[in-house]
Structure 1
Amino acid sequence: MTADFWIASGHQLCDRDEAGRLISTPDLWRAFLARPELVPPEEACGAERALHAALLADPLHPVAPAILARLADPDAAENWQVFLDFRDRVLSHPTLEAAWLALYRGGVGGVPPLFLQMLTQLVARAALEGEADAYTLRAAECLFRPQRAAIHQGALLLADEEVVAARAADGDLGALGRLLTEAGATPREVALDVLADADAAAYAARSDAHDLALDIAEGRPGQQGLARALERFILHVLGEPVTIRPTRLIEDADWSWHVGLDSEATGIANALWNGEAVAQERLARILWLGVLEFRETTRVLPRVAGRPVYLALAMNPARLVRLKPQNLATGLPLIAAEAAL
């Protein structure tokens, strides 16, 4: 049995169905309500404090508009309505995975990025249940946490953007900081270790700190770890068994389908597919390429069945990497509009 990881996600507060997908519980919603963004500030009115207390006691109970109208601060009332709308949208689906798919396929307008990040981490945590490879687990952090890229002397490092910023602000110095400084970080060094051990238990011990950098350069374990993380996520969320292998280049005269895993990669891949000239400086932003093949083709669009699907991950001009797993939910060439959840 592998050690527990990402404990701060709250996954242990969820129930699970027979397929291992997550079912929210009142305790999970209490964890949401304990977030500093939802705890009433000192200056909050009595009505807001009463609302928060009532939701802590029964996180699933309906809140009438008249209750929100009693709040003295209109902005607070609006914020609570946003949370309640998010809660109700999630609760309208049998699992968190189904809710995640529905949100991204139906539109996430009005949903705070923090809530989407928390939900994505929970779904990713369920997808990686039982995984024994630390490189795969660390790569999966990219599904819900932005990264900063650094390229130097054969290493292609991804480091958690929030951790890099915090360490730089605190003056926590270290050798890796030089690379991150070159990558555009705050101009002081940042102490981060590079993952160098495949043992999942060792990773789990510090997984909630998100303070391990990952080398995804060609031939490094992190390159394959990202492929494995994406395989597991697609299988868990979409129910599609796929095989993904990293590749250096796309050399395919019959290139039929691709999915950019972020906005930058999408723009570059679209331009190449359309036969447009792309400057070498922009091409150099591509950090990782993968070839995806479906093990079963019954739900694949006929014109793509049996053909590879290319995946691309890139950094933006500021060397930030914002992987969007929702692009897999909406961009893979599947016939069915909904996953078989």
Structure 2
Amino acid sequence: MKNFWKNCGHSLLALDANGQMRVTDSFINSYLDRPEIIPVSESCESERTLHYELKKNPRKPVSASCISELKNPEGRENYRHLIDFRNRLIRLNTIEACYLNTFKNKGVDIPPVFLNEMVQIILRQVLNCSEDAMHLRAAEIFFREQQ
């Protein structure tokens, strides 16, 4: 089957010796290109600098005080969620471990967008050799809003 769900980030991951999807710098970097994160004309210098530095080194440590310097409250919230998720990915090293860890604590503590993306990536890997388009369409129920 053709490459499906091309924008889910699956191709930016690397398989480790156990077949787990290891988090790469390219994968982390892809989150910096999201519209919620990429600087806009109104972004303050602190936000532009943070974004630039993270693009150069997506694993760069980011402190809470660095995020608090961002002038836009929505920007601070977006970066706080992103950095928390990124730190979890780095600490756990694979998408599978990060997904499982999400449910070990009381309640899910990451935004739904990250959870849905992990589900899509895991399903992308599971269905990698599927030749049945209906399997792929049916799998979308797990990460796409249904109407």
> Could you give the per-residue CA deviations for residues 158-194 of structure 1, whole angstroms, max 9, x where no partner exists?
xxxxxxxxxxxxxxxxxxxxxxxxxxxxxxxxxxxxx
CA distance in 1 between partners of 2:49 and 2:59 (Å): 15
The answer (yes or no) to whether the contact 2:116–2:143 under 8 Å persists in 1 is: yes
CA displacement at 1:4 relative to structure 2 = 1.1
SS at match of 1:114: helix
Give the 5 Å matches for 1:120-159: 120-148=119-147
3-state SS in 1 of match to 2:103: helix
Query: Shift of the alpha carbon at 1:47?
Result: 0.6
1:250-279 per-residue CA deviation (whole Å, 9 max, x = no partner) reads xxxxxxxxxxxxxxxxxxxxxxxxxxxxxx
CA root-mean-square deviation: 1.5
Q: Residue 83 of structure 2 aligns with which residue?
A: 84
Counterpart mapping for 1:49-128 below 5 A: 49-106=48-105, 107-109=107-109, 111-128=110-127
Moved over 3 A (4+): none
Alignment of 1:286-301 (within 5 A): none
**Following TM superposition, by how much is the alpha carbon of 1:74 offset from its aligned partner in structure 2, in angstroms?**
3.5
Q: TM-score, with normalisation over the residues of structure 2?
A: 0.90
Q: Equivalents in 2 of 1:142, 1:4: separation in Å?
A: 19
Structure 2, gaps ≥5 residues long: none
Would the aligned equivalents of 2:39 and 2:47 in 1 still touch at CA under 8 Å?
yes
CA-CA distance at 1:46 after TM superposition: 0.7
Q: Which residue identity lines up with residue 92 of structure 2 in the other structure?
A: H
- 1:75 to partner: Cα distance: 3.5
Residue 52 of structure 1 deviates from its aligned partner by: 0.7
> How many residues were matched structurally?
146
Counterpart contact for 1:33–1:39, Cα < 8 Å: yes
CA distance in 2, matches of 1:119, 1:40: 24
Q: What per-residue deviation string (whole Å, max 9, x for no partner) do you get for residues 234-260 of structure 1?
A: xxxxxxxxxxxxxxxxxxxxxxxxxxx
Residue 129 of structure 1 deviates from its aligned partner by 1.3
Please give the alpha-carbon distance, in whole angstroms, between the structure 2 residues aligned to 1:139 and 1:105.
27
Change (3 A) 1:94 1:65: closer
Question: Take 1:144 and 1:25, find their aligned partners in 2: how far apart are those partners?
Answer: 22
CA offset at residue 130 of structure 1? 1.0
Aligned-partner residue type, residue 108 of structure 2: V
| Cα-to-partner distance string for 1:260-301 (whole Å, 9 max, x where unaligned) | xxxxxxxxxxxxxxxxxxxxxxxxxxxxxxxxxxxxxxxxxx
Shift of 1:128: 1.0
1:4 to 2:3 alignment: yes
Superposed displacement of residue 121, structure 1: 0.9
Matching residue of 2:26:
27
Cα deviation, residue 32, structure 1: 1.0
Distance 1:74 1:147, change over 3 A: closer
Give the counterpart letter for 2:126 in structure 1: A
Q: Can you give the 5+ residue segments of structure 1 that lack an aligned partner in the other structure?
A: 149-341
Shift of 1:70: 2.2
Find the counterpart in structure 2 of residue 16 from structure 1: 15
Structure with more relative contact order (C-alpha pairs < 8 Å, separation 6 or more): 2
- 2:40 — aligned with what? 41
Asked if structure 1 preserves the Cα contact closer than 8 Å seen for 2:36 and 2:78, the reply is no
8 Å Cα contact 1:26-1:59 kept in structure 2: yes
Alignment of 1:262-281 (within 5 A): none
**Aligned partner of residue 37 in structure 1, secondary structure:** coil
Structure ranking higher in helix proportion: 2
Aligned partners of 1:90 and 1:96 also within 8 Å: yes
Contact between 1:21 and 1:126, CA under 8 Å: does it hold in 2? no
- Would the aligned equivalents of 1:29 and 1:59 in 2 still touch at CA under 8 Å? yes
Change (3 A) 1:94 1:47: closer
> Which amino acid letter does the alignment assign opposite residue 86 of structure 1?
F
More strand by share: 1
Q: State TM-score, norm by structure 1.
A: 0.41
Q: 1:189-268 residue pairs with structure 2 within 5 A?
A: none
User: Over alpha carbons, which structure has the higher Rg?
Assistant: 1
Deviation at 1:30, TM superposition (A): 1.2
